[in-house]
Structure 1
Amino acid sequence: MTDAIKIDVWSDIACPWCYIGKRNLEAGLAATAEDDDAPRVEVTFHSFELSPDTPVDFDGDELDFLSSHKGMPREQVQQMLANVTGVAKDAGLDYHFDILKHTNTVKAHELLHFAKAQGRQHEMTERLMAAYFTEGRHVGRVDELVELAAEVGLDADAARAALESGEYLTAVRADQDQARSYGINGVPFFVIDGKYGVSGAQPADAFAQIARQVWAERGAVAVAE
Structure 2
Amino acid sequence: MPGTLKVDIWSDIACPWCYIGKRKFDRGIEDFRAAAGDDAPAVEVAYHSFELAPDTPVDFEGSEAEFLQSHKGMPASQVRDMLGRVTAIANETGLDYNFDALQHTNTVKAHQLLHYAKSRGRQLEAKERLLRAYFIEGRHIGRDADLADLAAEIGLDRDDVLRSLSENEHLEEVRADQALAQQYGITGVPFFVFDGKYGVSGAQEPASFAQVLDQVWNEREKV
Q: Normalised by the size of structure 2, how large is the TM-score?
A: 0.97
* Corresponding residue SS for 1:49: coil
- Matched with 1:9 is 9
Q: Which amino acid is 1:123 matched to? A: E
Q: Are 1:27 and 1:204, in contact at CA under 8 Å, matched by a contact in 2?
A: yes
1:96 and 1:26 map into 2 onto residues whose CA distance is 22
In structure 2, C-alpha distance between the alignment counterparts of 1:150 and 1:118, rounded to whole Å: 13
Alpha-carbon separation, structure 1, partners of 2:73 and 2:15: 18
Aligned residue identity for 1:90: E
Tell me what 2:184 maps to: 182
Q: Which residue of 2 aligns with 1:131?
A: 133
Correspondence for 1:104: 106
SS of equivalent to 2:82: helix
RMSD between aligned residues: 0.9
Question: Which residue number corresponds to residue 94 of structure 1?
Answer: 96
On the 8 A contact 1:39/1:212 being kept in 2, the answer is no
Q: Does 2:55 correspond to 1:53? A: yes
Q: Percent identity?
A: 61
In structure 1, give the amino acid aligned to 2:150. L
Structure 2: tracts of 5 or more residues without a match: none
Hey, what's the Cα distance between the residues in 2 that align with 1:16 and 1:126?
Answer: 13
**Residue 3 of structure 2 contacts residue 41 of structure 2 at CA under 8 Å; is this kept in 1?**
no
Contact 1:61 1:100 in 2 (8 A): yes
Structure 2 equivalent of residue 28 of structure 1: 28
Question: How many residues are paired up?
Answer: 221
Distance, in Å, in 2 between the alignment partners of 1:136 and 1:75 is: 23
Report the Cα distance in structure 2 between the residues aligned to 1:184 and 1:205, rounded to whole angstroms: 23
Shift in Å, 1:33: 2.2
How far is 1:78 from its partner? 0.5
**Residue 2 of structure 2 contacts residue 40 of structure 2 at CA under 8 Å; is this kept in 1?**
no
Aligned residue for 1:116? 118
Indicate the SS of the match to 2:8.
strand
Task: Letter of the 2:157 partner, please give it.
Answer: D
**Hey, what's the Cα distance between the residues in 1 that align with 2:167 and 2:222?**
48
**Is residue 198 from structure 1 mapped to residue 180 from structure 2 by the alignment?**
no
**Secondary structure at the residue paired with 2:17?**
helix
Shift of 1:2: 5.1
Structure 1 moving runs of 4+ over 2 Å:
none
3-state SS of 2:90 partner: helix
Structure 1 residue runs without a partner (length 5+)? none
Measure, in 2, the Cα distance between the counterparts of 1:86 and 1:207: 21
Determine the structure 1 residue equivalent to 2:144. 142
1:71 Cα offset (Å): 0.4
User: For 2:58 and 2:91, how far apart are their aligned partners in 1?
Assistant: 28
Separation of aligned partners in 2, 1:29 and 1:168: 29
Give deviations 1:71-122, integer Å, cap 9, x for gaps: 0001100000000111111111110001000000000000000000010000
CA–CA separation in structure 2 for the residues paired with 1:213 and 1:158 = 42
